[in-house]
Amino acid sequence: MDQPRNLTTEPESTILSSKKTVCVIGAGPSGLVAARELRKEGHRVVLFEQKHDVGGQWLFDPDVEKEDPLGRTKFMEVHSSIYNSLRLLSPREIMGYTDFPFLMKEGLGRDTRRFPGHRELWLYLKEFSVHFGIRELIRFNTRVEYVGMLEGNNGVCGDLGNDLKWVVRSRKLDDDIISSGNGDVNDVDYDLSIDRVERNGEVVEEVFDAVVVGNGQYSYPQLPSIKGMKTWKRKQMHSHVYRVPQPFQNQVVVMVGNSLSAQDISMELAGVAKEVHISSRSQKNLMEGFSKVISKHEKLHLRPQIESLEEDGRVLFVDGSFVVADAILYCTGYKYSFPFLDTKGLVTVDDNRVGPLYHHTFPPLLAPSLSFVGIPRKASFTHIQIIAFPFFESQGKWVAQVLSGKRKLPSPDDMMRSVQEFYRQREADGIPRHETHDIIQFEYADKYADKTGFPHLEEWRKKMCLVALDNSDVHLETYRDSWDDEELLQEALQSPHFTQHIGPIMIST
């Protein structure tokens, strides 16, 4: 069985004695930065991406007709859940990786707003991949269909942990030239040297020393269990495949959930739908800004939890009221899914808890040869959240340094004890199992960073995040275009995060 090719040529000073051949799954924000950190440590990296370009969730895909509207397939045809009008929830200043700021860029088709549309963040990720030479590591249009432990001659998997190797089986999804080299991020067709051509449907099986899973967390819909859901004949879909409001013209729509995306979509639907009824399990968590929006728009109606769906089109609520709906849109979040991964039960997903994982990253019995980046996420309905890109960067650095031998993990038993203690503490705090990976404290991110000497989040970044969240809570419709943090913005733009790359920036206030 062929070993993966060494796709990089590193200076001798960066090559460490413990080089590994590493498979990274997913070229989104977590996979891209993990690949970069792995290569910094001298590892040989192959990055698998099922789509035609980098970006992961941020690679907008308008073609949703090919997807099951409720996402009930093993492998999703549509990875991105981005809708056409989506703008960032956070200001761009806090979004970037620590050494590659998310700058405003002039030019045709560029979005210079502080809270830009989704395409601008995709362009940022594309620029990041070119700047750091990551594209040459990527096999595009290639889906990983199986990852499992390599068995020895006696049919038994090798020693767990450091000595374990992994079989990776991938399938080419479309005729495409796989290449290596550098290109201009502004070009549609990159000027790259051709290495090989793989044909549509070709299956390749390879062996790797380590696998890093970074396939994202916002692609597989989490659906509620509602009486009559399977027999309701009218339109049902998850927000994963929502793109534009026009298909709901003059319809009565019931939206399930009041997440941030649900709030955005409900305001958009109010412009075209006949009525929009927002069903929520708990109205106690309704933010002030969303309450203002509902009271302002006569087409928006707040409803309690759904009791049942009736075959005549009625949607019955737990308070006895009902509406006759044309469509139901589930804005009920996403679940972790790794349909390609076979760990013989050593890693499972139970009520959206991926585990056991030591600090959301390493499975104790399979570490360090198997790791996960991008599992932690923001906490729902809190004023504190993870700032994703720097956290993913620190995760990638930790994984890379552990694999190279620069950093050591505790023993498997000690890691397992740490995981169990973490679970016990979450339970004592009243945090449900499905929120295991919700991060609600900046302090956790700082402690995590200490594992590799990674810098703590800057105070301006933390404050700016909180200000934006507070502003959105109160002024949901306008917070992206009206803010009052000019002093923080000035502090950010004069910080080393920006000045070490582009020099001091002056802004008008």
Distance, C-alpha 471 to centroid of its chain: 24
Find, among 245, 317, 235, the residue nearest to 274 by Cα.
Answer: 245
Q: Strands 138-139 and 142-149, how do they pair?
A: unpaired
Name the band, by pLDDT with cuts 50, 70 and 90, for residue 357. very high
The H-assigned helical ranges of 173-218 are none
| Beta strands in 130-259, from DSSP E residues, in sequence order | 138-139, 142-149, 166-172, 176-180, 193-198, 203-208, 210-213, 220-221, 235-238, 252-256
Name the band, by pLDDT with cuts 50, 70 and 90, for residue 162. low
Q: Is the pLDDT of residue 509 over 50?
A: no
For the residues 365-371, what does the mean pLDDT come to?
A: 97
- Integer distance in angstroms from the first to the last C-alpha of the chain? 62
For the residues 218-246, what does the mean pLDDT come to?
A: 96
Of residues 367 and 13, which shows the higher confidence score? 367
Average confidence score pLDDT of the chain: 87
Of residues 445 and 354, which shows the higher confidence score? 354
Token pair 């595009």 is found at 140
For the residues 111-119, what does the mean pLDDT come to?
A: 97
**Winning range, highest mean pLDDT, from 134-138, 175-179, 473-477:** 134-138
Name the band, by pLDDT with cuts 50, 70 and 90, for residue 72. confident
**371 close to 397: Cβ distance less than 8 angstroms:** no
For the residues 271-295, what does the mean pLDDT come to?
A: 90
**Residues 18-54+134-219+335-449, CATH architecture:** 3-Layer(bba) Sandwich (3.50)
Name the band, by pLDDT with cuts 50, 70 and 90, for residue 48. very high
Establish how many alpha carbons lie within 13 A of residue 401's alpha carbon, considering only the half-sphere containing its beta carbon: 16
Q: What pLDDT sits at residue 159?
A: 54
Q: What pLDDT sits at residue 182?
A: 32
Q: Is the pLDDT of residue 184 over 80?
A: no
Q: 237: which residues sit within 8 A by CB, 6+ positions away?
A: 69, 70, 327, 328, 329, 330
For the residues 357-378, what does the mean pLDDT come to?
A: 94
Token pair 């956070």 is found at 90
Torsion-angle region of residue 301: left (phi > 0), alpha (psi -120 to 50) or beta?
beta
Note whether 18-54+134-219+335-449 and 223-332 share their fold.
yes
Name the band, by pLDDT with cuts 50, 70 and 90, for residue 440. low
Say how far apart CA 136 and CA 17 lie, in whole Å.
Answer: 23
**pLDDT tens figures, 396-430:** 999 999 999 999 999 999 999 999 999 999 999 99
Q: What pLDDT sits at residue 192?
A: 27
**328 close to 235: Cβ distance less than 8 angstroms:** yes
Find, among 213, 241, 243, the residue nearest to 27 by Cα.
Answer: 213
**147 close to 63: Cβ distance less than 8 angstroms:** no
Say how far apart CA 369 and CA 23 lie, in whole Å.
Answer: 10
Name the band, by pLDDT with cuts 50, 70 and 90, for residue 33. very high
Q: 167: which residues sit within 8 A by CB, 6+ positions away?
A: 146, 147, 148, 149, 150, 205, 206, 207
Of residues 469 and 396, which shows the higher confidence score? 396
Name the band, by pLDDT with cuts 50, 70 and 90, for residue 188. very low
**Residues 223-332, CATH architecture:** 3-Layer(bba) Sandwich (3.50)
**77 close to 65: Cβ distance less than 8 angstroms:** no
- Per-domain residue ranges for the chain? 18-54+134-219+335-449, 223-332
Token pair 């720097």 is found at 390
Say how far apart CA 149 and CA 488 lie, in whole Å.
Answer: 49
Q: What pLDDT sits at residue 139?
A: 97
Find, among 315, 189, 192, 327, the residue nearest to 248 by Cα.
Answer: 327
Helix/strand/coil for 337: coil
Least confident window among 9-13, 346-350, 363-367:
9-13
Q: What pLDDT sits at residue 259?
A: 85
Q: Is the pLDDT of residue 198 over 60?
A: no
Question: Whole-model pTM?
Answer: 0.88
